[in-house]
Homo-oligomer: A and B are copies of this chain.
């Protein structure tokens, strides 16, 4: 449980998830979008995969990553509301 939340406790990982919420993407595309190196993105995708938050399919020589569980968006909205109360 704590481990799962911990994975969501990083801004770059949220950037990756947000990008994937819009559309499936290759690693290099993700890297460009979120402004990280390919390698850093790859490392983080591994972490996200570890919590079954993303998965990939192979397309030619690319790996196209996709959001595995859209529940995460619900989670995002709920926490947003919680945080709005903090003003």
Interface residues of A (CB under 8 A from B): 1-11, 13-14, 51-52, 69, 71-72, 74-76, 78-83, 85-86
Interface pairs (6), CB distance under 8 Å: A1-B11, A1-B76, A4-B83, A7-B9, A52-B86, A75-B75
Q: Are B52 and A69 in contact (CB under 8 A)?
A: no
DSSP class of A's interface residues: helix, strand, loop or mixed?
helix
Contact among B9, B75, B86 for A78, CB-based, below 8 A: B75
4 A-B pairs with the lowest CB-CB distances in the bound complex, closest first: A6-B9, A5-B8, A2-B11, A5-B9
Q: In the complex, what residues of B have CB within 8 A of residue A79's CB?
A: 1, 4-5, 75
Minimum C-beta distance from A54 to chain B (A): 13
